[in-house]
Amino acid sequence: MQLRTRIQGGGTRPLEKWGVDSEYGTLREVLVGPIDHFKWQPGNAVCQRAERVGLKFDLAVARRQYEEMIDAYRQADVNVHFLAAEPALPYQIFARDSSVMTPWGAVIMQLQKSYRRGEYAACLQFYLDAGIPIYDMVTAGNVEGGDFMVLKPGVAACGYSGERSIEPAVRQLQSWFETEGWEFHTYAFDSHFLHLDVQMGMLAEGLAVVCVEAVEPELVEWLRSKGIRAIAVPYSDAMQMGTNVVALGNERALVPASSKNLVAACRAEGLTVYDPDVSMIGNGGGAVHCMCQALRRDRV
């Protein structure tokens, strides 16, 4: 059996049942990481701040919040799939990072932190068991899904800090997308911000949330050139996962309850907002966007 479906030289056919061509097409199928073995881990600014100000991890609270998020997906008529839980993987809950979905199938990513490197195994097994084609697997170094976005048809973006995602691996992804005829924008940023989705996220067609205090002006200008308007949130909100959102399609968005400024702004824009409290998980360094990987969205 051929594992990788990517055609050398481009021309890979988009999938019929699976795949995404935007961050905002109506979400139909989503992959979520398991809560079973989750525990805050050192190595990111968000978790370090939580512990510095005296917050304590409580798995029972995290489980309740996780179920609230899963219920929000079900209310939004999204079919939820789960990665198989592995005891040695405390951050497996963040299913965004171990793979990304493209129009042509999944890409298996590489993770930086030693306690996350094994996440590829259950991820790869999920796609094989589900019969979801794998477009390719990154081999040029670590790059994580929180840095990658299929913004709109024909346009993708990937950030890199030199830590969670490194430039050679991002360039490998870029070469694949450009060979398929897509624009692929790269953006370098400071490692303090973990991933690109701690700085920006798509809410709906033509509408993003951006921490304008954190990103370089060129990123905002580039988004504008692609017809994407930004709702600005402050740095303090970003450090509490205030840009870590999931567009559900049909003018609906999944936004952490702690992002009060953004929830209000989204409703003022006419969006229907699902706002589960995921603060116990978010204080570990990831919120609703980090916990999911879109498997199928309606084409736009």
**26 contacts: CB under 8 Å, gap ≥ 6:** 248, 249, 250, 297, 298
Closest CA to 38 of 292, 295, 291, 294: 291
pLDDT tens, 64-109? 999 999 999 999 999 999 999 999 999 999 999 999 999 999 999 9
- Domain presence at residue 225: yes
pLDDT of residue 15 exceeding 60, the answer is: yes
Average pLDDT over every residue of 264-276? 98
- Domain presence at residue 2: no
> What is the rounded average pLDDT for all residues in the chain?
95
Question: Alpha carbon of 42 to those of 20, 46, 133, 283: distances in Å?
Answer: 33, 9, 34, 11
Average pLDDT over every residue of 23-41? 96
| Token pair of 30 as six digits | 């989503």
- Domain presence at residue 33: yes
Are the C-beta atoms of residues 160 and 188 closer than 8 Å to each other? yes
- What is the spatial distance between Cα 66 and Cα 51, in angstroms, rounded to a whole number? 21
Range of the domain at 137: 27-297
Average pLDDT over every residue of 55-65? 93
Q: Which amino acid is at 201?
A: G
pLDDT of residue 1 exceeding 70, the answer is: no
pLDDT tens, 200-233? 999 999 999 999 999 999 999 999 999 999 999 9
- Domain presence at residue 239: yes
Closest CA to 130 of 13, 246, 19: 19
**How long a stretch of residues is the chain?**
300
- Domain presence at residue 9: no
- What is the spatial distance between Cα 71 and Cα 80, in angstroms, rounded to a whole number? 10
- What is the spatial distance between Cα 218 and Cα 221, in angstroms, rounded to a whole number? 5
**Beta strands in 72-126, from DSSP E residues, in sequence order:** 79-82, 99-102, 105-108
The conformation of residue 137, written as its DSSP 8-state character, comes to E
Q: Which amino acid is at 53?
A: V
Cα dihedral sign, 183-79-76-91:
negative
pLDDT of residue 55 exceeding 80, the answer is: no
- Domain presence at residue 193: yes
- Domain presence at residue 16: no
Domain of residue 201, CATH code: 3.75.10.10
Average pLDDT over every residue of 194-203? 96
2 pLDDT tier (thresholds 50, 70, 90): low
What's residue 50's pLDDT?
Answer: 67
What's residue 52's pLDDT?
Answer: 74
- Domain presence at residue 272: yes
Provide the domain count of the chain: 1
| Token pair of 216 as six digits | 């370089």
Place of tokens 């450090």: 239
Q: Which amino acid is at 119?
A: E
- What is the spatial distance between Cα 190 and Cα 241, in angstroms, rounded to a whole number? 16
The better pLDDT of the pair 49, 72 is held by 72
**11 contacts: CB under 8 Å, gap ≥ 6:** 180
